[in-house]
Amino acid sequence: MSRVVAYIRVSTSHQDVDNQRYEINRYAERSGIQIDEVIGETASGYKTQLNDRKLSDVMADLEKGDTLIVSETSRISRRLMDILNTIQGLIDRGINVIAVKEGIVFKDDINSKVLAFAFGLAAEIERNLISARTREALAKKKADGVVLGRPLGSADPKNLKLYGKDEEYIALRMKRVPKAAIARMFDVNVETLRRYVLRQELDKEVLWKLHKKTTNF
């Protein structure tokens, strides 16, 4: 029989869990959901690795048809990619994820997959902002006379190893194939793939196609 498990996390022992518990219980009452188990822990969502937290054991015990409820997605992690990977991994296993404050129900359907992909795109943007700050620092070094290597994006796309694989990449991402797996298929480093995807704006194309597919239903 399907179970509903509520997960509560606080970063320090001084924080109050009552607010999270209240939000989850209120949602459950409004939605007619019976919570079978409430699991809580004290752990930093940023400093503590996901595999070292009780949440990893909770997820391992969940089965197809079960539901995990959190007060908000940040209770899963403070790292956007951890949130994305966790949610995607659960819905791929047929496990629903409810984020109360965001009002989102992730499940194994096209709408949830589009939303999860949007989370992934946001994570890509977050990484790109970090890269942008790195490039700004390199630009300053160059202005100060430091000799640097070739700037990102200066090469002719036709000379790149991934040139001509755009449509294949898009098709694979539409099937939810992870970028790490695609990189192995293309025999390139994951970061090389990410830079090429960013340069060619391929993820935007994937997101547009997923959205179009959703609106056609």
Q: Are 117 and 44 in contact (CB under 8 A)?
A: no
Active site residue 31: no
User: What is the arrangement of strands in the sheet containing 96-99, beginning at the earlier edge strand?
Assistant: 37-42, 4-10, 67-70, 96-99, 104-106
**One of 2, 11, 13, 112 is an active-site residue; which one?**
11
In sequence order, what are the residues at sequence separation of 6 or more whose Cβ sits closer than 8 angstroms to the Cβ of residue 161?
186, 187, 188, 192
Residues 36/67, Cβ–Cβ less than 8 Å = no
Tokens of 154: 């200066």
38 with 6: CB under 8 angstroms? yes
**Residues that are catalytic:** 11
